[in-house]
């Protein structure tokens, strides 16, 4: 086995080199502190691998994204979201009978416990649906206590998360909730629960169903991103899957992460209201003191292009055309992208559109309100979070996540009681 040698204070220590199936290499520092008393320091973990995983592979330089070895472009073009969820969780594509059974279980587990529905009435109508989703996911074990059967919990979470999202939306607009149908698919049930009303039975449009399918697939996993690392961190203490994923939903809500899709739409609307002067906002984003960032731009891993952004940009045009929608925000987004990609500030920093830059325009075209965009991201990422939680829990070498630190506070001081100070 090849090793890396480190010489510290005249002492040499060797660390084994680890190589993955795609040729990625790391040196394993498990024994660093015991050999040298040193630790590593890597704020944001930009250079630190937290685990070895077989779920998703990303090559940030080449713009490659694969779920269990399958290219995102192929899955986005030909698969359905339930199938991709199965693949991520079970590490193989389902055969016809496995897929039929998986879909059946997803549909039959779509109902939310009637006592749980009362919860929704106690959230103010102005509550952000991400707060409701977080609360309801962590409350699930209170209503479905048989925690021992992991496969049942997995199906329950996947199936009920979409129902929780739809009920949260209905409550926020003061409309009666719509119950799932046992003859409807995951996607059709979600759309109907979101948009059907007692007056208007919602006609499931194939264009909308396919667009939603695409959006959920491209969000389904992304290796050790902030929210998935949160799920693994939380699960490493042997917290339940529901608790771990509720923590992941919280991490996703931040505007630097999943909250960016809502922030992108708000940014585009701000530019439109400001006369559409997108060049002004590109300049603003270059001024560090402005506190303004081009939301939906940049990525810790992708340094040439985010393959998901390419897929969604193409889908934007197709979906809006098929729905007969002219959205000025799409023109602003395309102009922003064009100007930024030819501007040295962005080129030097390798800042390109990421998955969040175009997704909101499609969600908007589907009739999904802006404050539900990050909930949609969470619904897409649910199978990825589950797959990572399960992989971590099945790993016999897994240890509770407990990073070290370098202390920079006060050195020892003697305590003096207040009456003597
Ligand atoms: C997601 O990790 C994942 O895989 C996440 C995700 C997933 O699927 O799970 O892909 C989903 O979260 C996508 C990212 C969504 N967030 C945004 O769109 C918010 C805007 N982008 C950023 O704030 C930023 O680019 C991050 C958070 C995405 C990445 O942050 P990094 O890697 O820590 O980069 P950085 O903040 O250190 O920026 C490096 C430089 C800085 O300038 P300098 O100090 O060199 O002068 O680039 C600048 C930054 O100021 N910069 C930006 C910018 N992003 C980075 N400047 C203007 N606009 C931006 N969007």
Q: Quick one: average pLDDT of 77-100? A: 98
Q: Is 140 in the pocket of ligand 1 (CB under 6 A)?
A: no
Q: What percent of the chain has pLDDT over 90?
A: 95
pLDDT digits (tens, 9 = 90+) for 171-180: 999 999 999 9
Q: Quick one: average pLDDT of 85-106? A: 98
pLDDT digits (tens, 9 = 90+) for 44-59: 999 999 999 999 999 9
- Rounded to the nearest angstrom, the distance between the alpha carbon of 345 and the centre of ligand 1 is 13
Can you say how many angstroms the Cα of residue 294 is from the centroid of all Cα atoms in its chain?
19
Q: What pLDDT, on the 0 to 100 scale, is given for residue 147?
A: 64
pLDDT digits (tens, 9 = 90+) for 241-289: 999 999 999 999 999 999 999 999 999 999 999 999 999 999 999 999 9
- Rounded to the nearest angstrom, the distance between the alpha carbon of 44 and the centre of ligand 1 is 12
Domains and CATH numbers, the chain: 3-64 (2.20.28), 77-254+369-383 (1.10.580.10), 260-366 (1.10.230.10)
Q: Where are the alpha helices (DSSP H) in 260-368?
A: 260-273, 278-286, 307-323, 328-341, 344-348, 355-365
Q: Mind telling me the catalytic residues? A: 299, 356
Q: What pLDDT, on the 0 to 100 scale, is given for residue 148?
A: 67
DSSP state of 205: P
Cα dihedral 81, 86, 87, 89 sign: positive
Q: What pLDDT, on the 0 to 100 scale, is given for residue 145?
A: 83
Q: What percent of the chain has pLDDT over 70?
A: 99
Contact present, 328 and 275 (Cβ < 8 Å): no
Q: Whose CA is nearest to atom 1 of ligand 1?
A: 257
Q: Whose CA is nearest to atom 28 of ligand 1?
A: 299
pLDDT digits (tens, 9 = 90+) for 102-155: 999 999 999 999 999 999 999 998 999 999 999 999 999 999 886 668 999 999
Q: What pLDDT, on the 0 to 100 scale, is given for residue 415?
A: 97
Q: Which H/E stretch holds residue 16?
A: strand 11-19
Note the pTM of the prediction, 2 decimals: 0.96
């Amino acid at each position: 086995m090849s090793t890396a040698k480190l010489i510290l204070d005249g002492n040499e220590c060797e660390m084994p080199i680890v190589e993955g199936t795609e040729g990625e290499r790391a040196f394993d520092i498990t024994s660093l502190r015991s050999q040298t008393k040193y630790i590593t320091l890597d704020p944001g973990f930009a250079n630190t691998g937290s685990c070895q995983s077989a779920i998703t592979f990303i090559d940030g330089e080449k713009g490659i994204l694969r779920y269990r070895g399958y290219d995102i472009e192929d899955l986005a073009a030909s698969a359905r979201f339930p199938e991709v969820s199965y693949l991520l969780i079970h590490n193989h594509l389902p055969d016809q009978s496995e897929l039929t059974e998986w879909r059946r279980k997803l549909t039959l587990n779509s109902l939310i416990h009637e006592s749980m529905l009362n919860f929704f009435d106690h959230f103010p109508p102005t509550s952000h649906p991400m707060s409701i989703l977080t609360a309801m996911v962590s409350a699930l074990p209170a209503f479905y206590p048989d925690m021992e059967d992991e496969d049942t919990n997995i199906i329950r979470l996947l199936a009920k998360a979409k129902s929780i999202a739809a009920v949260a939306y209905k409550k926020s607009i003061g409309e009666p909730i719509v119950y799932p149908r046992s003859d409807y698919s995951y996607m059709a049930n979600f759309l109907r629960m979101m948009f059907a009303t007692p007056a208007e039975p919602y006609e499931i449009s194939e264009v909308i169903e396919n667009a939603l399918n695409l959006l959920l697939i491209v969000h389904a996993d992304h290796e050790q991103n902030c929210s998935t690392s949160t799920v693994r961190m939380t699960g490493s203490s042997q917290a339940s899957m529901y608790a771990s994923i509720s923590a992941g939903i919280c991490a996703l809500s931040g505007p630097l992460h999943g909250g960016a899709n809502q922030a992108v739409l708000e940014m585009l609307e701000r530019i439109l209201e400001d006369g559409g002067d997108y060049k002004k906002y590109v300049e603003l984003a270059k001024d560090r003191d402005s506190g303004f960032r081009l939301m939906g731009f940049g990525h810790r891993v992708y340094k040439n292009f985010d393959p998901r952004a390419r897929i969604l940009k193409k889908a934007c045009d197709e979906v809006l055309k098929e729905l007969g929608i002219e959205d000025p925000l799409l023109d602003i987004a395309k102009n922003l992208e064009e100007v930024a990609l030819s501007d040295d500030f962005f080129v030097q920093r390798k800042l390109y559109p990421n998955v969040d830059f175009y997704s909101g325009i499609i969600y908007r075209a589907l009739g999904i309100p802006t404050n539900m965009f990050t909930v949609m991201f969470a619904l897409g990422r649910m199978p990825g979070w589950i797959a990572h939680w399960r992989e971590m829990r099945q790993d016999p070498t897994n240890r509770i996540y407990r990073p070290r630190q370098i202390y920079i506070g006060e050195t020892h001081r003697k305590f003096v009681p207040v009456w003597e100070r």
